[in-house]
Structure 1
Amino acid sequence: MPDYRRARATGATWFFTVNLLERHGNTLLVDEIERLRTCLQVERARRPFAILAWVVLPEHMHWLWRLPPGDSDYSTRWRRIKTDFSRGLPRSERRSKVRQSRGERGIWQRRFWEHQIRDETDLQHHTDYIHFNPVKHGLVARTADWPHSSFAAHVERGVYAPDWATAPSLKVPGDR
């Protein structure tokens, strides 16, 4: 298996997708949303970063982060958030023999997906994608009805109208 090398750019803005290992029917992230919030707050206190947009769905989540100037280490942040989140949860998940031999939990997919934001258009596209995701996955008919995202804060700042991306169109403005 080739050695995966993550992109490095100091002070950059990044889009992330982070998944639970067992996705089908899993609701752990929304069931434990307060634990997740706490883990993010703790990590931001240890190693600051700005959160520009986010959504947490039952079994995966998307985030837009901006790292401080001179800092490119998002991997350590994600490792700590995932580890802290897993601590204290009952050990009831299925674990492969490989995970058992390494002493690993079976909660998270090992890797996450990252994309460095290139410009303002790319940032807007990914922000829209994040906020539309609960509608895309059929969890709600209106973006505003999903409680686990930054959408309401963006509405308060005038970035979105309260009825942005709602049924019946079920299409993000600007999508092809």
Structure 2
Amino acid sequence: MPNYRRARVPGGTYFFTVALADRNRRDLVEHIDLLRQAYGEVARKRPFATEAIVILPDHLHAIWRLPEGDADFSTRWKEIKAGFSKRFGARRPRSGSKRAKGEVGVWQRRFWEHVIRDPADMAAHMAYCWGNPVKHGLVARPTDWEASSIHRDIRAGRVPPEWAVPEGAFGE
């Protein structure tokens, strides 16, 4: 069995990418209410601060700040994915190993994480979150995408309403 190493920094800030198993589906935006319920339930039970988030049709990006002394983001993602899958109620084609582990085939196994190192790294990953719908051709401007924390941050005065993605922020 593979041994996946994860960077664990208690109280750290992390950038995540979490994806559906079938990248051609639109389940996250079509059933965003179910995702919000699962996410909120886990956030209440195992608190963390969502610094930025964007939900796209088949994947999401999030930046979390964990409580001091806490580095357990894996359990939180496992519970969010399970909570969404249970509420969603759908089963997707699965491998024998996924069936044996009781997985319903909605999500890709695991997720990708990156420890935020400094303010410049944080700014770059926030820009990536907010600009991702533009990168994927879903909208022309980050503020045109509803399922993004950019709206919360504009309302709070942390981001100017005319915020634009810096040139090259998406690896273009």
TM-score past 0.5 threshold:
yes
TM-score by length of 1: 0.90
- The residue aligned with 1:158 is 157
Q: Which runs of 5+ in 1 are unaligned?
A: 166-171
- The residue aligned with 2:13 is 13
- The residue aligned with 1:23 is 23
What amino acid does structure 1 have at the position aligned with 2:57?
A: P
CA contact (8 A) 1:49 1:66 kept: yes
- The residue aligned with 1:169 is none
- The residue aligned with 2:121 is 122
Equivalent of residue 175 in structure 1, options 158, 168, 171: 168
Change (3 A) 1:117 1:155: same
CA contact (8 A) 1:20 1:109 kept: yes
- The residue aligned with 1:112 is 111
Q: Which runs of 5+ in 2 are unaligned?
A: none
Provide, for residues 77-126 of structure 1, a one-character-per-residue CA deviation record: whole Å limited to 9, x for no partner: 00000001100323342122222233211000111000000011100100
Cα RMSD after superposing both structures: 1.5
CA contact (8 A) 1:143 1:163 kept: no
TM-score by length of 2: 0.92
What amino acid does structure 2 have at the position aligned with 1:74?
A: F
What amino acid does structure 1 have at the position aligned with 2:77?
A: W
